[in-house]
Amino acid sequence: MEAYQKYLSKFWIEVEWNFISGVGVTAFDEADAQRIIVNKISSEVKFVSITKIHSLDELDQGHVLPNMEEWVSRGIWHPKGY
């Protein structure tokens, strides 16, 4: 594990943008999570709500879990491909 990873948190962010309604992000804080989304997805994403996630059990087991990347490293883990 990289030393900086102990400072990372997981966030579920509800958004309005094209076909995406939710984004999972691992980041240093909420502002960092929003920056990652703007830089990786689009500057036109509208942020609806941000929730700090502590466990995989808090996520949609039928949709999010089967369609997510690893969530240990800083970046977007849902949807895949960002």
In the chain, where the domains are located: 3-78
pLDDT at 19: 87
Q: What is the mean pLDDT of residues 45-71?
A: 94
- Residues of the chain with pLDDT > 70, as a percent, come to 94
Q: Is 18 left (phi over 0), alpha (psi -120 to 50) or beta?
A: left
The pTM assigned to this predicted structure is: 0.89
Q: What is the mean pLDDT of residues 28-34?
A: 97
Band of pLDDT at residue 53, cut at 50, 70 and 90: very high
